[in-house]
Chains A and B, each alone.
Chain A
């Protein structure tokens, strides 16, 4: 079974530009979550999508947005890039269904990440 894929793997952008990152979840997974990893703040949750709807959102400014398509693929967009947006952006996929005791809907499997550098 193919894992989570993220494109592009590396990206260099200039302040003020916008960027779109893509994530393809594991086949059959309907939940996609996005995380930002920086040396200073660590791993922080951005948002989670399930069946094309945002179910949960972290504490990030509105410049960070996302969407999910009917095939569960997801994109996240960052507008008006700032130097502080330089980070590793990780996408995670999960079955996404409500959990029964002992079942494993909450395991999230991560992709290799997109390394974004803002200059």
Chain B
């Protein structure tokens, strides 16, 4: 069974601060995919990033970066220099190989104050 845990319920920061969102996952598969999605107040889930279990290289994409560590089953996500438009609920999700079922964490509400 696959499980995703986002321990942080809410995070509030002032604009330009960095925000790091924690995600811990459980799976018995050796091949799996990890995702981060953003859900603004409009309700639509917006795809942000995907990581494959066989590639632990951490990357930066614009103001987004992620830290994937298989040893601790963690997939943390950082927004650098946060902006008010980053205010949303952020979901971490896991999909096992050849399986289109996404298991989501409970989500972390990020509020960026001007």
Contacts and interface: CB of A to CB of B under 8 A. Distances in A.
Interface of A: 31, 33, 35, 42-45, 48, 50, 55-56, 58, 88, 90, 92, 94, 96, 98-99, 101-102, 104, 106-113, 115
Interface stretch (B48-56, B62-70, B78-86): B48-56
Contacts, number: 63
A104 B101 contact: no
Contact of B101 (A42, A56, A101, A115): A56
Contacts of B45: 90, 92, 110
Interface of A is mostly: strand
A99 B43 contact: no
Interface residues on B, range: 20 to 34
A45 B103 contact: yes
Q: Identify the 9 closest CB pairs spanning chains A and B, nearest first.
A: A110-B45, A43-B104, A48-B100, A112-B44, A45-B101, A106-B33, A113-B43, A56-B101, A42-B106
Given A45-B101, A48-B100, A102 B43 contact: no
B100 A104 contact: no
Contact of A42 (B44, B52, B55, B104): B104
Interface of B: 33, 35, 37, 42-47, 50, 52, 54-55, 91, 95, 97-107
Contacts of A50: 100
B55 A99 contact: no
A42 B98 contact: no
Given A33-B101, A102-B52, 12 more contacts: A31-B100, A43-B107, A45-B101, A50-B100, A56-B99, A94-B100, A101-B52, A106-B50, A108-B35, A110-B46, A110-B47, A112-B42
